Amino acid sequence: MKREYIFIGPPGSGKGTQTIMLSRDFKLPHIDTGALLRAEIASGSEIGERANERIKKGQLVPIEIVSEIIKNRLKEKDCENGFILDGYPRSLEQAQALDRIFEEIDGQNKTDRKVFYFEIEEDSLVERLINRRTCPKCGEIFNLKTMKMDKAVCPHCNIELTQRKDDTVEVAKARFETYFRETHPLIDLYSKRGLVCTIDAAQDIKTVYAQLKKAVEKNGN
């Protein structure tokens, strides 16, 4: 059955880290709205310019931009058997837009749709965010502090890791506010539909992945 997984959780809760592993193991495309928007910014497109204004303030990018990007991406061939949505939807309005996209791409077909909620207290997350580094080549996510790295170099690609511009204390705080105001209410919405599976995201990376994999295997076909 087509697997349609939605990852929701505060910034730094580990959605990206876990999606990369699940995507490899289950051969599901990783649809990361933040990364798609950052690629638009890097390309210098008009969409990227508009997105950048919001991202640097920790605010949501306008719905017409994100939902169009997602709709087009989910129609691509590699999403035929499923996908992992990491960072979409992030508001009730986006959840309604996603309902319409699902109607369009799936019609009456039965799918394995699940929402994984990465539950964790906010306290530890700023520390995770300001120490996050990413490989610009393979996309792997690292943490200078928790992974005790001697140097900020990707062990697979041997190139210098980069830091996201929005991973500062100030922007992180704005992102948390945006998350709790706009995104967190989706847990209630999806719980009422019986779709939510809560993951204890405060555990170490391997333990979180074990929980996630178990939940996927239990729910999948």
Pick the binder of ligand AP5 from 205, 211, 213, 219 (CB under 6 A): 205
* CB-CB contact of 6 with 121 (8 Å): no
Cis bond upstream, residue 89 (ω within 30): yes
52 in contact with ligand AP5 (CB under 6 A): no
- Residue 221: CB minimum distance to ligand AP5, A: 27
The helix or strand, by DSSP H or E, that contains position 82, with its residue range, turns out to be strand 82-86
Query: Residues 54, 57, 71, 164: which is the catalytic one?
Result: 164
| Candidate ranges 21-29, 59-67, 148-156, 190-198; the one touching ligand AP5 (CB under 6 A) | 59-67
Q: Does residue 90 carry a catalytic annotation?
A: yes
Tell whether residue 23 is a contact of ligand AP5 (CB under 6 A): no
Based on the shown chain and the rule CB under 6 A, indicate whether residue 73 belongs to the binding site for ligand AP5.
Answer: no
Residue type, 184: H
Size, binding site for ligand AP5 by CB under 6 A: 35
- SS3 for 83-145, per residue? EEEECCCCCHHHHHHHHHHHHHHHCCCCCEEEEEEEECCHHHHHHHHHCEEECCCCCCEEECC
Name the DSSP letter for residue 152: S
Rule CB under 6 A: say whether 204 interacts with ligand AP5.
Answer: yes
Q: Which is nearer to ligand AP5, 11 or 82 (CB)?
A: 11
- Binding mask 123-152 toward ligand AP5 (x if CB under 6 A, else -) reads -----xx-xx--------xxx--x------
CB atoms closer than 10 angstroms to residue 174: 16
Q: Is 38 a catalytic residue?
A: no
Residue nearest to ligand AP5 (CB): 34
Contact 88, 119 (CB under 8 A): no
Q: Is 50 known to be catalytic? A: no
Return left, alpha or beta for 129; rule: phi > 0 is left, psi -120 to 50 is alpha, else beta.
alpha
Residues interacting with ligand AP5, by CB under 6 A? Answer: 9, 11-17, 33-34, 37, 54-55, 58-61, 66, 87-88, 90, 94, 128-129, 131-132, 141-143, 146, 166, 175, 204-205, 208
Q: Which residues are catalytic?
A: 15, 90, 132, 164, 175
